Structure 1
Amino acid sequence: MQITPSPSAPPAQQREQALRDVAQKLEATFLSEMLKSAGLGKTPEGFGGGSGEDQFASFLRDEHAKAIAARGGIGLAETLFNALKGRADD
């Protein structure tokens, strides 16, 4: 869940929230690839849903990754945020 600061929020707060959103999206993308490597969304051999299931498995995997990242994930988003914020402050 993304929290969007109000337009009347100070620019520094808006920038910080934008950096947090970007960091969370990057973590979700990383987690999606990790879940793919782990086999999440892979069609079972005998009871698969066919080509339709194969085509839409990535959407389910992406949503799982976004949910994991939104709930704290593996801490990658926080590390990325701190690095981005440090670069923005320079």
Structure 2
Amino acid sequence: MDIQPTTLPPPTRHDQLMAKAKDLEAAFLAEMLSHSGLGEMQGAFGGGQGEAQFTSFLRQEQAKLVVQQGGLGLAEMIFNSMVKAEDGNA
């Protein structure tokens, strides 16, 4: 039995722009989550310096999940702006 590897077509320019727009939305959300204090431990059970270092990774992943589930709609607006700028209509 000979198994042929499947090759995916390369992403289109719009796919690339949407991926970047989603990355920007996730970065924005992660920053907003960090300023909200969400997930910070208080009192005797705080993790100290180790917690502070790894909490940012958790916030980044939470933000990515929010964007995957639809996000705030920022990615769509960013994408539309990038398409207009690329087409010279900005």
Q: Percent identity?
A: 48
List runs of 5+ in structure 2 lacking aligned partners. 1-7
The answer to whether residue 86 in structure 2 is matched with residue 82 in structure 1 is: no
List runs of 5+ in structure 1 lacking aligned partners. none
User: Under a length normalisation based on structure 1, what TM-score does the superposition of the two structures give?
Assistant: 0.81
Moved over 6 A (4+): none
Backbone CA RMSD of aligned residues: 1.5
User: How do 1:13-52 residues align onto structure 2 when only pairs under 5 Å count?
Assistant: 14-52=12-50
Number of aligned residues:
81
Higher relative CO (Cα under 8 Å, sequence separation at least 6) belongs to 2
User: Under a length normalisation based on structure 2, what TM-score does the superposition of the two structures give?
Assistant: 0.81
